[in-house]
Amino acid sequence: MVGVHNDDLSKFQSQSYVDSWVKNSILPYYPATKITDISVGVEVTDSPDAANLAVPAMRNVVSALKKVGLQGRIKVSTPLSFGVLSKSYPPSDGAFDGSHDNVLGPLLDFLEENQSPFMVNLYPFYAIGDASLDAVLFKSPSSIFVDPNTGFSYKNIFDAQLDAVHFALAKRKSRRIPIIVTETGWPTKGSGGHRLAMASLDNVDDSYASIDNAKTYNTNLIRHVTDGSGTPARPDEELVVYIFSLFNENLKQGPEIERNFGLFYPDMRSVYNLVFPGKGTGRSWCVASSQASNSALQNALDWACGPGKADCSALQPDQQCFEPNNLVSHASFAFNNYYQKNGLTDQACSFGGTGIVVYNDPSYGSCIYNVKSRDPKGRTWCVASSQASRSNLQNALDWACGPGKADCSEIQPNQKCFQPDTLFAHASFAFNNYYQKNGATDASCSFRGNAIKVDQDPSYGNCIYH
């Protein structure tokens, strides 16, 4: 996602300015960089100067994208705060605040016309005063409430807030508009138990701002998003969520917590380690928890290699995974073998609470931990590197379509992949064609360092990367 600042919205009232912006800030990087959305402004209903500029700017962006053949491939919207709702509990009573109709009316019309998503920022952290900490951190073992109008049972506040937005859209006859959660997160530091001096938030104690809670919230959020369960009102709908934020914002005004939502400090040091499951490859492994006792691990290992029927032959003396000869290492290998054989489910990595799912390959030396892809095809593609120079890319493209014998017919004028008519886009298509024809090996995606392998399909519209 690429964003446009509120301060730039006045410039985006000019179509010529936006045309130039798209050509300079989007085209050179697409499709080598996966750009799916452009967010124009942020929380404009809270900024009087920006509120009436957002939709005209969005229309100019769509027009500019259309001129370069990217309309529909890159969606355009604007993120709003959860505060645009006047009511959110129970979720089925979710409704927009009528005071924002001057923005919401034109915005919803635009989203319908362009099949663009409704973008909203959700922060369950600020609901702590009205809900238990476990409910906000995705830790409630059972229902926290049942919506009396729908009978839907809710186990966490995030789902309740998101469904409130779904119902608010439905009341505006905009049920078909998909939702992207453009911001959600948790602060790692507050002012030491102070009440927040913010409108309608004086019931929130910032002592809940901590590294442990932030890690728990974001880890459980990722697990919830990737497990495919959706929300009670939309159980089959994929959740699209962005975590806020990558870096702490030391210069940001306001309460201390506002500066401390980042995964990293400004000097690039990690605030805490957060694992992101890779949806592109869908790969995961099961290993022994470092918190498990030796007796519990031994029992789990004995079960995995016995009744569980895990293949533990590689753990025997003189075999490739015998060393290091310790309980955690042997249990990890056995747990993973069982996990891979039994559907990659959370239950298959339970082992009485001694197993944990990880997304970094634990293989070492000649000891290979088996892995299955959640994408049964396990495909990869080869595209142009955004770090390559134009001259190097042109030379590589010429070679691929010439001596390399890649089929470049579809990037000719009036063909499916001619637009966008950029060097990056054409090189990406040609590189991938050569790569697929030549065994999809690392060597066939080299192009002297001007290409990279990706695990997300770069196809768009009618342009299919075979």
Among candidates 101, 99, 107, 123, which has minimal Cα distance to 39?
A: 107
Own/partner long-range contacts of 317-324 (Cβ < 8 Å, ≥24 apart): 320/365, 320/366, 320/367, 320/368, 321/367
Per DSSP, 360 falls in state S
Residues forming the active site: 43, 183
Residue identified by tokens 């939709």 is: 55
Show the tokens assigned to 203: 């019931």
Name the 3-class secondary structure at 358: strand
324 upstream amide cis, omega within 30 of 0: yes
Inter-CA distances, 315 with 34, 323, 325, 335, 462, Å:
42, 8, 9, 12, 50
85 sits in which H/E element: strand 85-87
Sign of the dihedral through C-alpha 230, 233, 235, 240: negative
Q: Please, where are the H alpha helices in 195-288? A: 211-226
Beta-carbon contacts of 394 under 8 Å, excluding residues fewer than 6 positions away, are 423, 427
**How many whole angstroms separate alpha carbon 195 and alpha carbon 203?**
7
- CB count, 10 Å around CB of 174? 17
Name the 3-class secondary structure at 458: coil
State the Cα torsion 262-266-271-276 to the nearest 10°. 60
